[in-house]
Amino acid sequence: MLTPLQRYLEKTPPHRVEPSFVSYIANLQQIAVTMPHIAALIVKELESQRSHLKLIASENYCSYAVQAAMGNLLTDKYAEGHPQYRYYGGCENIDAIENAGVEEAKALFGAEHAYIQPHSGADANLVAYWSILAAKVESPALAELGETNLSNLTETQWEELRHKLGNQKLLGLDYYSGGHLTHGYRQNVSARMFRSYSYAVDRTTGLLDYDAIEKQAMEIKPLILLAGYSAYPRSVNFRRFREIADKCGAVLMVDMAHFAGLVAGKAFTGDEDPVQWGDVVTTTTHKTLRGPRGAIILCKKAFAEFVNKGCPLVLGGPLAHVMAAKAVALREARSDQYRQYALKIRENARTLAAECVRLGLHVQTGGTDNHLLLLNIAETHGLTGRQGETAMFDCGITLNRNSLPFDRNGPWWTSGLRIGVPGVTTLGMGEPEMKEIASVVKLVLDGTKPADSEKGGISKGRITLDEKIRSQARSQVQTLLEAFPLYPELDLPSLKTYFL
Ligand code: DSN
C-alpha cells in the first residue's frame, strides 16, 4: 500500500509539488505510524483554523520555518543553566542556539540584555519578579551580612530574608482595566508573593491617567511599578511611566506580551517603546510577534545576572527546540516585510474600530491605537461577553469575551468582547475586509438575544440566534476565509483523505 506521501507525489505533476506540503505530509505520516489519532487531530485543527475567522487578539499564525524549528531532535537535550554555564555536558550546540536567539532579540529591540528561556508569559513574569527581588532585596541583604551564598545563611538569617522577600509591593494595572492575571490578581501567585496594589483606568475616559497613577505610586512606593496589558486599546506613554518610577523609587517593569510585535516592527517608537524606558521587559513570542509559543525577557545590564538565573530560580530545563524557533521568529521580525505587517496591524485595527463606531457599536475609549479593540455589548445589546462569544463562534468567528473597566458582570460572564487583528492581518486582509468584519459582528450581535434561564429569569450564558442571520453571517465569514486561506499550500481535502 502506498504511503500518503507516495500518494501525493503520484498524483501531482512534478512542477506542482509544494515543498511545504511535502514536509507536512511527511511529518504527519511519521506521527500516524505511532498514533493516527494525533495526526488526524492536527489535520482537524488545520480545518478548524481555516474555517474560522481568528479575531483573538493574542493569537497569530507563525511561519513554516518557525514550526519546523520546533519539530526536531533539539527537544531531546537537557541544558539547565544558561550559555557556557550549564549543568549538563554536550550543550555546545544549545549554547550556540540560545546565544543566536539572544543576539536576535537584542538587535531587534535594541535591548541591553535578553533571556529567551521562559516557556510562557506567566513564567517570564515570575522570572522577572524574582530577578528584581534578587537584585533589589536579596543581593543588598547578603551584602549587609557579608555573604555571597544563600546556602551559608543561618536558619534565622534565611527566615528574615524570606520575610523581606515576601513583604514587597507591586503596583500594576487592574485586571478589569486590562491588566493581566499575573499582574497581581488575587487568583494568581503574583498577588500572594507581593503586597499587591493596582491602578485603574479613568472611569469616564477609560484611559490611563498618569497623574493619578503618579499620586498612587507616591503613596504606595512600590518596589515594582508594572506597566503593560492584555486588554487596553490605547498606546502607553512609557517615558511617563519611567518618570513616575524614578520619582517613587520603583523598578519599572513592562509586560509587552500583547504589543511586542508593534515594538519590533517599529509601529511603536519613542515614548511608546517600552524597551527604551523599562528596566525589565517581558513578552510572549506567539502573539503579535508571530513566533512559537513561549516568552523572552529584555532588561538593562544591571538585571542581567539575575535574569540569567531564571533556571533554576523558577524554570526547569530550557526548551531548546522552542529557543531555536524563537531565534527564527526574531530574525523574521527584523525584515522590512515584518515592519509593514506591524504598521498594517495598527491600520487595520483603526479601520475596524472606526467602522464599528459608524455602525453604532460601543467601542471602549472610542477607538484603538494598537492591535485590539473592546466592545461593550452589555450596553448596546444587553448581552454578556459570554453570550457574544458563543454567538460569534456559532457564526464562524473565534474571539474572546473580556471584562471591561468596572465591569458589573464580573470576570466570568463579562460585558465585553475583545477583538484583535494580528491573525487576519497575517492572512493579508486590509481595509475592505475590516469593514466586512465589522458588519458581520454587528449583524451577529443584532441577531442574538439572551435566552431564558433554566432557573427562571434571563440567562447570562445561553442565547437564541436568529437562523437567517446565522446563515448570512456564516456565508460572509466563509467568503472572507476563502479569499484569504490559511497556509494555502496545504491541500486540506487531500490531508483529510490521507489521515482522517
Ligand atoms: N491569554 C493571553 C491573552 O489572551 O491575552 C494572555 O496571557
DSSP string, 9-33: HHHS-GGG--HHHHHHHHHHHHHHH
For residue range 163-221, what is the model confidence (pLDDT) as tens digits?
999 999 999 999 999 999 999 999 999 999 999 999 999 999 999 999 999 999 999 99
Nearest C-alpha neighbor of 269 from the set 306, 291, 238, 308: 238
Residue nearest to atom 3 of ligand 1 (CA): 58
Pocket lining: 177 vs ligand 1, CB cutoff 6 Å? no
- What separation in angstroms does the CA of 317 have from each of 114, 119, 303, 314? 17, 10, 21, 10
The alpha carbon of residue 205 and the mean position of all alpha carbons in its chain are separated, in whole angstroms, by: 25
Distance in Å, CA 63 to ligand 1 centroid: 21
Number of structural domains (the chain) is: 2
Where do runs of H (alpha helix) occur along 54-120?
64-70, 92-109
Residue nearest to atom 2 of ligand 1 (CA): 58
Residue nearest to atom 1 of ligand 1 (CA): 58
What is d(CA 450, CA 445) in angstroms, rounded to the nearest whole number?
11
Q: Are residues 347 and 317 in the same domain?
A: no
Pocket lining: 282 vs ligand 1, CB cutoff 6 Å? no
In a domain, 77, yes or no: yes
Query: Which residue from 175, 232, 287, 401 has its CB within 8 A of the most atoms of ligand 1, so it is best to mutate?
Result: 287
Residue nearest to atom 6 of ligand 1 (CA): 230
In a domain, 17, yes or no: no
pTM higher than the cut 0.95: yes
In a domain, 232, yes or no: yes
What is d(CA 66, CA 43) in angstroms, rounded to the nearest whole number?
18
Cα dihedral sign for 322, 328, 333, 337?
negative
Distance in Å, CA 296 to ligand 1 centroid: 15
In a domain, 68, yes or no: no
Q: Are residues 291 and 426 in the same domain?
A: no
Cα dihedral sign for 45, 49, 55, 57?
positive
Pocket lining: 121 vs ligand 1, CB cutoff 6 Å? yes
Distance in Å, CA 323 to ligand 1 centroid: 20
Q: Are residues 154 and 293 in the same domain?
A: yes
Distance in Å, CA 57 to ligand 1 centroid: 8
Q: Are residues 117 and 163 in the same domain?
A: yes
Q: Are residues 284 and 350 in the same domain?
A: no
For residue range 390-422, what is the model confidence (pLDDT) as tens digits?
999 999 999 999 999 999 999 999 999 999 999
Query: Which residue from 54, 55, 56, 58 has its CB within 8 A of the most atoms of ligand 1, so it is best to mutate?
Result: 58
> Rounded to 5 degrees, what angle do the CA atoms 184, 286, 70 make?
125
What per-residue confidence (pLDDT) applies to 458? Answer: 85
Q: Which helix (H) or strand (E) holds 50?
A: helix 36-50
Query: Which residue from 175, 180, 372 has its CB within 8 A of the most atoms of ligand 1, so it is best to mutate?
Result: 180
In a domain, 488, yes or no: no
Q: Are residues 129 and 259 in the same domain?
A: yes
Residue 356: give its domain's CATH number: 3.90.1150.10
What is d(CA 26, CA 235) in angstroms, rounded to the nearest whole number?
44
- What separation in angstroms does the CA of 46 have from each of 13, 207, 210? 25, 38, 44
- What separation in angstroms does the CA of 496 have from each of 39, 297, 374, 492? 10, 40, 37, 6
> Rounded to 5 degrees, what angle do the CA atoms 237, 169, 365 make?
35
Q: Are residues 218 and 361 in the same domain?
A: no
Distance in Å, CA 314 to ligand 1 centroid: 20
- The minimum-distance atom of ligand 1 relative to the CA of 121 is 7
Q: Are residues 326 and 358 in the same domain?
A: no
Distance in Å, CA 58 to ligand 1 centroid: 6
Q: Are residues 208 and 299 in the same domain?
A: yes
What is d(CA 413, CA 73) in angstroms, rounded to the nearest whole number?
43
Distance in Å, CA 224 to ligand 1 centroid: 21
Q: Are residues 225 and 77 in the same domain?
A: yes
Residue that is last in its domain, among 300, 332, 364: 332
Other beta carbons within 10 Å of 227: 30
- The minimum-distance atom of ligand 1 relative to the CA of 181 is 7
Distance in Å, CA 121 to ligand 1 centroid: 9
What per-residue confidence (pLDDT) applies to 457? Answer: 83
- The minimum-distance atom of ligand 1 relative to the CA of 182 is 7
Pocket lining: 230 vs ligand 1, CB cutoff 6 Å? yes
- The minimum-distance atom of ligand 1 relative to the CA of 230 is 5
Contact at 8 Å (CB) between 235 and 263?
no
For residue range 437-449, what is the model confidence (pLDDT) as tens digits?
999 999 999 999 9
Nearest C-alpha neighbor of 250 from the set 216, 204, 282, 276: 216
Residue that is last in its domain, among 281, 316, 332: 332
- The minimum-distance atom of ligand 1 relative to the CA of 231 is 5
What is d(CA 26, CA 29) in angstroms, rounded to the nearest whole number?
5
Residue nearest to atom 5 of ligand 1 (CA): 230
In a domain, 46, yes or no: no
- The minimum-distance atom of ligand 1 relative to the CA of 257 is 6
Residue that is last in its domain, among 316, 332, 348: 332
**19: CB partners within 8 A, 6+ apart:** none
Domain that holds residue 294: 73-332
Pocket lining: 58 vs ligand 1, CB cutoff 6 Å? yes
Provide the Cα torsion 402, 408, 411, 414; round to 10°.
Answer: -40
**152: CB partners within 8 A, 6+ apart:** none
User: Residue holding cell 543581593?
Assistant: 139
Nearest C-alpha neighbor of 500 from the set 47, 12, 26: 47
Residue 174: give its domain's CATH number: 3.40.640.10
Q: Are residues 259 and 397 in the same domain?
A: no
In a domain, 252, yes or no: yes
In a domain, 62, yes or no: no
Other beta carbons within 10 Å of 6: 12
User: Over its length of 500 residues, how does the chain's per-residue pLDDT go in tens digits?
Assistant: 899 999 999 999 999 999 999 999 999 999 999 999 999 999 999 999 999 999 999 999 999 999 999 999 999 999 999 999 999 999 999 999 999 999 999 999 999 999 999 999 999 999 999 999 999 999 999 999 999 999 999 999 999 999 999 999 999 999 999 999 999 999 999 999 999 999 999 999 999 999 999 999 999 999 999 999 999 999 999 999 999 999 999 999 999 999 999 999 999 999 999 999 999 999 999 999 999 999 999 999 999 999 999 999 999 999 999 999 999 999 999 999 999 999 999 999 999 999 999 999 999 999 999 999 999 999 999 999 999 999 999 999 999 999 999 999 999 999 999 999 999 999 999 999 999 999 999 999 999 999 988 778 888 999 999 999 999 999 999 999 999 999 999 999 999 999 99
Peptide bond into 432 cis (omega under 30): no
Q: Are residues 200 and 282 in the same domain?
A: yes
Query: Which residue from 188, 258, 398 has its CB within 8 A of the most atoms of ligand 1, so it is best to mutate?
Result: 258
Other beta carbons within 10 Å of 457: 9
- The minimum-distance atom of ligand 1 relative to the CA of 400 is 4
- What separation in angstroms does the CA of 72 have from each of 77, 117, 131, 278, 423? 11, 18, 31, 35, 26
